[in-house]
Amino acid sequence: MQPVKNSVWFAKMKGSCKKLIITADDFDLTDHYILSTGFQGLLATKELPLSLLSAFVISKDFDIQRDLHSVGTTMAGINNETFMKMLVPQLSIQEIEEFDNRYSSLVKLLSKRRKEIAKLKTIKQKLLQKYF
């Protein structure tokens, strides 16, 4: 699965808590990584901005619904058909715009912090190799 900008990805497997928010600035992810087919991606749109899409996917209710709609026995998970049965709040255009105006900066901040952490891990690894 090729990650794309302005998308949210989550693990389809029941009980899994793997989520990834990819902003327009996350070229390190879109240019250098591919994701397992065990992930489902959702592309943000004007009607469903990245901030709101992220809020839906990282919510506890989302995990509960994903697990309830999972199919299979050994490695239960959702598929495209059962995913479409999941419920999300229906908001007005004004509510969506207000939410995005309020929280889009936080999604960008999460992206920035993820990159800073990755950079610090690289520096740490280089220092450990140099001195140990």
Predicted confidence (pLDDT) per residue in 44-89, tens digit: 999 999 999 999 999 999 999 999 999 998 889 999 999 999 998 9
The one-letter code for the residue type at 37 is T
Average pLDDT over residues 26-33: 93
Give residue 132's pLDDT band: very low, low, confident or very high (50, 70, 90): confident
Average pLDDT over the chain reads 95
How far apart are the C-alpha atoms of 29 and 15, rounded to whole Å? 24
CA distance 115 to 23: 12
pLDDT of residue 56: 96
What is the per-residue pLDDT for 120? Answer: 98
Determine the residue type at 67.
Answer: D
